[in-house]
Structure 1
Amino acid sequence: MIWNLLSAQPEIALFASLAIGYFIGSFKLGPIQLGGVCGTLIVALILGQSGARISPELKNIAFALFIFALGFTGGPQFFANIGRGWRYGALSIVEIVVVVALVLGAVVILKLDAGTAAGLLAGGATESAVVGTASEAINRLGLPAAETARLQANIVTAYSVSYLFGLVTIVLFVSQFAPLILRVNLRDEAERLWRKLGGDGALAAGQTPAAPPLSGRELRVTTGAGQSIGELEKRFGDNISVQRVQRDRAIIKAQPGVILKAGDCVMVGGRREALIEAIPMIGEEVFGGGVSDVFVERVDVMLTRSAVHGLTLAQVRARAAPADAHGVFVAAVTRLDSTIPALASTQVQRGDVLTLVGNKEDVARGAAKLGYVIRTTQKTDFVFLGLGVLLGIAIGRLSAHVGGIDLTLGTGGGCLLAGLLFGWIRSRYPLIGSLPSAAAQILKDFGLCTFIAAVGLSAGADALRLIREFGIALPVAGVVITLGPALASLVVGRWLLKLEVPMLLGAIAGQQCSTPAISALVGVTGNATPVIGYTITYALSNVLLPLLGPVVVGLASKLG
């Protein structure tokens, strides 16, 4: 009865796959969590036994929206990391070369077809988008419909099996095995690096500082009498800012030339360590002095100025004119939806989102010098979105004949490149192309999982056959394809490129596009230093790996 219902109304099978799949994917076993995509695929493979099928048009639309949004959100960081941060970017090249070599080796040894090879690539590299680009490539081989369906079914089956084992492998490798191989205490290394970058201590998992790094104090001037506000702020490296002065019940504008007098009440804000040092040299802390009603603005700013690209936060402040930097503090740096430490030695890149804190005038001035304020909006520019997808489809129709292999990007590859371009345009010209982060996330999550569910439903009947045919060979191949690039990058990154261990391991998690791996790694290190390396390789691999789908399909077809 239920089987007949699913077959008659496949939309029920689709949403059941999403709901049950995400429910299964939410469970954690230690640091391991399948996630919604893999959970959806497993459920779809089971429900696919009913004969429920989703129309190819819906599947293609869902994947086009997903891959465009993926490129759009990663565009600014992708272009920012080309030529800069090359030591980390080199690890993405290592990933691509090694993973393709291992997949082709598996094709020869196990005599895999093109679909199974592409599924191993997607699962071993833990990059779900490869399923879509490879499926499109299979569709263009000109094979009979039954053979095309069989090969596409093999993609998702091989992906589901190898992904499970690849995910476990990369999580355990970066968080447990790699530190043993390098003979380092990962937590101690992360704390040392945190201090080196300008941090003041490491945090355990789930901890937040009880004393925030940015704070304010209400003081009555005693020892600081006779100093000007400008001199006082300069004395502490502009890490404090006098926000308001009250003298004899009158409010005085806190300008650099104002001379403080004994008995003045001042509101001083800034970095906590500088503030603690400054208090004895200004006066005594009081409450109710008449200046405590000062409010600060907290504004997110997209960094677009090329002049500060690649500089550390300390260098950005040092090179800014005193009037521009006055009273502006960076509370957080967000890159590719990941928060990286806002420390003095943290390098910023075009496309980063800087959270500025200060009074309204100071923050507005600082934002204008760095980029543009990200306005809270729920509106999507559908003109921009529609044109981007259309351009992607047009690019996807282009083809090239290389070494006897016809290479075509397809809708997936074309929309990915168009998304990169349109995301970069948005970062340079912020008045056009609004795609709020929440909307982009919906497009990515719903688009990918709808596509995965549709493919899984159509592949259900062939899944058991492929598992019976190769048995344990698929899980073993998945582990090898995951472990090979990770080991190669560990050797190249540590002994050739001389990268710091926490950031190197974060970069290995990023080249694998593995969010569970970076989450487990941050939990072990106790701070966010691995995220600095993760964001660079994640931005590059998230673009390069999906483009390998058609390449592997073409090469595997020739070898087979």
Structure 2
Amino acid sequence: MIGELLRSQPEIALFACLAIGYFIGSFHIGPIQLGGVCGTLIVALVLGQSGARIAPDLKNIAFALFIFALGFTGGPQFFANIGRGWRYGLLSLIEIVSVLVLIMIAVSVLRLDVGTASGLLAGAATESAVIGTASEAIAKLGLGDAATQRLQANIVTAYSVSYLFGLVTIVLFTSQFAPLLLRVNLREEAERVWRKLGGEGAFSEGQSAAAPALVGRAFRIGKAAGITVRALEEQYGYNLTVEQIERPGADLPVAMETRLAAGDLVLVAGRRAAVVAASAGLGEEVLGADFGQLFAQRLNVVLTRPDVDGMTVAQLRAQAKPENARGVYIAAITRLESTIPALPGTDLHRGDVLTLVGAKADVERGAKRLGYVLPPTEKTDFVYLGLGVLVGMAIGRLGGTIGGVTLALGTGGGCLLSGLLFGWVRSRHPLVGSLPSAAAQILKDFGLATFIAAVGLSAGPDAIKLVREYGLALPLAGILMVLVPGLLSLWVGHALLKLEAPMLLGAIAGQQCSTPAISALVGVAGNSTPVIGYTITYALSNILLPLMGPVVVGLAGKLG
């Protein structure tokens, strides 16, 4: 009865896969979480035994939207990190080369078909997008319908088997085993790096509310009587700002040459360490001053200035004229949807979203000098989106033969490259192509989950056959495809590139495109310094690994 219902109304099977799959994927076992995509695939493989099938057109549309949004959101950081972040980028290249070599060894030893080889890459590297690009490449091999469906089914089955083992391995490797191999206490190292970058102490989510990095306090001037605003701010490296002066009977305009007088009530705002250091010399702190909220203006700004690219936060403040920089503070830096610590020693990248805090006039002035305000729009520019997908489909028709290996980008590879280009253009010309981050996230999540559910339903009947054929070989291969690149990157990053341990381990999690790994790593480290390395390799690997789907299909077919 249920099987007949699912066959007659496959939309029920689709949403059942999404609902049950994401429910299963939400559970944690220690630091391990399957996630909604893997949960959806497992449920789809089970429900696929009923014979329910999703129309191929829906599957293709869903994947095209997902892969375009993936490229669109990663485009600015991908291009920004080519060349400049070469030390971290080298780790992504180690990942790509080593997994390709290991896949070819597995093809030779285990006699894997092209579908199983591609699924092994997707699962071990925890990069679901490979399923789509490899599936399209197989569809272009000119095989019969039955053979094509069998090979595409093998992709998702091999993925589902190797993904779990690859996920567990990368989480445990980065957060537990790698620190032991480096002979470091990761929490102590992370705190040392935090302080080296200019942090005031080990940061954790629990501490952030009690000790915010930026504060505003009101003082009744005593010892500081007679000092000018300029002299006071310069004394503390312009890390604090006099925002307002209230003299008995009047509110004084704040000018750089204004002299503070005994009894003045002043609002001093800025970095907590600077305000605390200045408090003893200013006078008595006044609680409950009615103008204390003037500092609490927040504005999200996309950094576009090319001359600022690569500067640290401290260097940016030092090179700016005091009258331009005063009153403007960077409270947070968002890069590839991850928040990295906004410390004085943190490097700024073009395309970063900076959260500016200060008085309204100050943050608006800072926004104009740094880039453009991220508009709080919820509307998507469907002209830009539709044109981008069309261009991607046109690019996907390109292909050729290199060294006897036939390569075809397909819709997935084409839309990925198109998304990169359109996202990069959007970052340079913000008045066109609105695709809000929430809308892009919906396209990525729903597009990928729908695609995965569709291929999982079609693969259901063949899944058990593949598991019986290879047994433990696929899980073991998945573990090796995490450990070998991880160990190589650990040695190269530590011995040759001299990367700090927290950033190196974060970069290894990023080259594996593993969000659970960076989450576990941040928890062990006690602060967010590993995210600095993670964002660079994640930006590169998240684009390069999906492009390897057609490559694996071509090489495995040639070798086989």
The alignment's TM-score, normalised by the length of structure 2, stands at: 0.99
Secondary structure of 2:302's counterpart equals strand
Shift in CA distance, 203/294, structure 1 to aligned 2, threshold 3 Å: closer
**Structure-1 residue corresponding to 2:70:** 70
Q: Note if contact 2:123-2:158 (Cα within 8 Å) is conserved in structure 1.
A: yes
**Structure-1 residue corresponding to 2:343:** 343
Residue 34 of structure 1 pairs with residue 31 of structure 2: no
**Structure-2 residue corresponding to 1:177:** 177
Query: Following TM superposition, by how much is the alpha carbon of 1:259 offset from its aligned partner in structure 2, in angstroms?
Result: 1.3
Q: Note if contact 1:265-1:291 (Cα within 8 Å) is conserved in structure 2.
A: no
Q: Distance in 2 between matches of 1:266 and 1:476?
A: 66
Q: Distance in 2 between matches of 1:113 and 1:396?
A: 24
Residue 167 of structure 1 pairs with residue 192 of structure 2: no
Q: Distance in 1 between matches of 2:346 and 2:363?
A: 20
Q: Distance in 1 between matches of 2:181 and 2:239?
A: 41
Residue 14 of structure 1 pairs with residue 22 of structure 2: no
Instruction: Give the residue type in structure 2 aligned to 1:92.
Output: S
String of CA shifts for 1:311-352, please: whole Å, max 9, x gaps: 000000001121110100000111111111110100010111
Shift in CA distance, 293/80, structure 1 to aligned 2, threshold 3 Å: closer
After superposition, where does 1:389-408 map in structure 2 within 5 Å?
389-408=389-408
Shift in CA distance, 274/463, structure 1 to aligned 2, threshold 3 Å: same
- Number of aligned positions between the proteins: 560
Q: Distance in 2 between matches of 1:218 and 1:182?
A: 47
Secondary structure of 1:167's counterpart equals helix
After superposition, where does 1:248-267 map in structure 2 within 5 Å?
248-267=248-267
After superposition, where does 1:4-403 map in structure 2 within 5 Å?
4-203=4-203, 206-287=206-287, 291-292=291-292, 294-403=294-403
Query: Following TM superposition, by how much is the alpha carbon of 1:293 offset from its aligned partner in structure 2, in angstroms?
Result: 5.5
Q: Note if contact 2:21-2:40 (Cα within 8 Å) is conserved in structure 1.
A: yes
**Structure-1 residue corresponding to 2:409:** 409
- Gaps spanning 5+ residues in structure 2: where? none
**Structure-2 residue corresponding to 1:547:** 547
Structural RMSD (CA): 1.1
Q: Distance in 1 between matches of 2:266 and 2:206?
A: 36
Instruction: Give the residue type in structure 1 aligned to 2:552.
Output: V
Query: Following TM superposition, by how much is the alpha carbon of 1:208 offset from its aligned partner in structure 2, in angstroms?
Result: 2.9
Secondary structure of 2:208's counterpart equals coil
Q: Distance in 1 between matches of 2:137 and 2:312?
A: 43
Query: Following TM superposition, by how much is the alpha carbon of 1:288 offset from its aligned partner in structure 2, in angstroms?
Result: 5.7
Secondary structure of 1:245's counterpart equals strand
Secondary structure of 2:458's counterpart equals helix
Q: Distance in 1 between matches of 2:511 and 2:178?
A: 15
Query: Following TM superposition, by how much is the alpha carbon of 1:294 offset from its aligned partner in structure 2, in angstroms?
Result: 2.7
Query: Following TM superposition, by how much is the alpha carbon of 1:270 offset from its aligned partner in structure 2, in angstroms?
Result: 0.8
Identity %: 70
Instruction: Give the residue type in structure 2 aligned to 1:121.
Output: L
Secondary structure of 1:294's counterpart equals helix
Query: Following TM superposition, by how much is the alpha carbon of 1:489 offset from its aligned partner in structure 2, in angstroms?
Result: 0.6
Secondary structure of 1:307's counterpart equals coil
Secondary structure of 1:356's counterpart equals strand
Query: Following TM superposition, by how much is the alpha carbon of 1:284 offset from its aligned partner in structure 2, in angstroms?
Result: 1.5
- Gaps spanning 5+ residues in structure 1: where? none
String of CA shifts for 1:21-50, please: whole Å, max 9, x gaps: 000000000010000000000000000001
Q: Distance in 1 between matches of 2:537 and 2:383?
A: 31
Moved more, 115-124 or 210-219: 210-219
Q: Distance in 2 between matches of 1:199 and 1:209?
A: 15
Q: Note if contact 2:194-2:529 (Cα within 8 Å) is conserved in structure 1.
A: yes
String of CA shifts for 1:189-242, please: whole Å, max 9, x gaps: 111111111112214565534121111111111111111111111111111111
**Structure-1 residue corresponding to 2:443:** 443
**Structure-2 residue corresponding to 1:497:** 497
Shift in CA distance, 551/289, structure 1 to aligned 2, threshold 3 Å: closer
Instruction: Give the residue type in structure 2 aligned to 1:504.
Output: L
String of CA shifts for 1:86-138, please: whole Å, max 9, x gaps: 10010000000000000000000000000000000101111000000000000
Secondary structure of 1:302's counterpart equals strand
Q: Distance in 1 between matches of 2:135 and 2:252?
A: 68
String of CA shifts for 1:35-92, please: whole Å, max 9, x gaps: 0000000000000001000011000000000000000000110011011111001000
Secondary structure of 2:307's counterpart equals helix
Q: Note if contact 1:302-1:354 (Cα within 8 Å) is conserved in structure 2.
A: yes
Q: Distance in 1 between matches of 2:204 and 2:383?
A: 46
Q: Note if contact 2:216-2:292 (Cα within 8 Å) is conserved in structure 1.
A: no
String of CA shifts for 1:240-273, please: whole Å, max 9, x gaps: 1111111222111111111111111111111111
Moved more, 101-110 or 191-200: 191-200
Q: Distance in 2 between matches of 1:217 and 1:537?
A: 40
Q: Note if contact 1:246-1:291 (Cα within 8 Å) is conserved in structure 2.
A: no
Q: Note if contact 2:510-2:535 (Cα within 8 Å) is conserved in structure 1.
A: yes
Instruction: Give the residue type in structure 2 aligned to 1:331.
Output: A
String of CA shifts for 1:261-292, please: whole Å, max 9, x gaps: 11111111111110011122222212466644
List structure 1 runs of 4+ shifted beyond 6 angstroms: none
Instruction: Give the residue type in structure 2 aligned to 1:178.
Output: A
Shift in CA distance, 138/199, structure 1 to aligned 2, threshold 3 Å: same
Secondary structure of 2:251's counterpart equals strand
Q: Distance in 2 between matches of 1:206 and 1:105?
A: 47
Q: Distance in 1 between matches of 2:404 and 2:103?
A: 20
Moved more, 204-213 or 295-304: 204-213
Moved more, 270-279 or 137-146: 270-279
Q: Distance in 2 between matches of 1:552 and 1:168?
A: 24
Q: Distance in 2 between matches of 1:295 and 1:196?
A: 28
Instruction: Give the residue type in structure 1 aligned to 2:405.
Output: I
Q: Distance in 1 between matches of 2:537 and 2:293?
A: 45
Q: Distance in 1 between matches of 2:429 and 2:22?
A: 37
Query: Following TM superposition, by how much is the alpha carbon of 1:518 offset from its aligned partner in structure 2, in angstroms?
Result: 0.3
Q: Note if contact 2:203-2:528 (Cα within 8 Å) is conserved in structure 1.
A: no
Secondary structure of 1:306's counterpart equals coil
Instruction: Give the residue type in structure 2 aligned to 1:219.
Output: F
Secondary structure of 1:159's counterpart equals helix
Query: Following TM superposition, by how much is the alpha carbon of 1:306 offset from its aligned partner in structure 2, in angstroms?
Result: 0.6
String of CA shifts for 1:428-477, please: whole Å, max 9, x gaps: 11111110100000000000000000000000000000000111111111
String of CA shifts for 1:396-440, please: whole Å, max 9, x gaps: 001121011221111001100110111111111111111010000
Instruction: Give the residue type in structure 2 aligned to 1:125.
Output: A
Secondary structure of 2:257's counterpart equals coil
Query: Following TM superposition, by how much is the alpha carbon of 1:536 offset from its aligned partner in structure 2, in angstroms?
Result: 0.2
Q: Note if contact 2:216-2:295 (Cα within 8 Å) is conserved in structure 1.
A: no
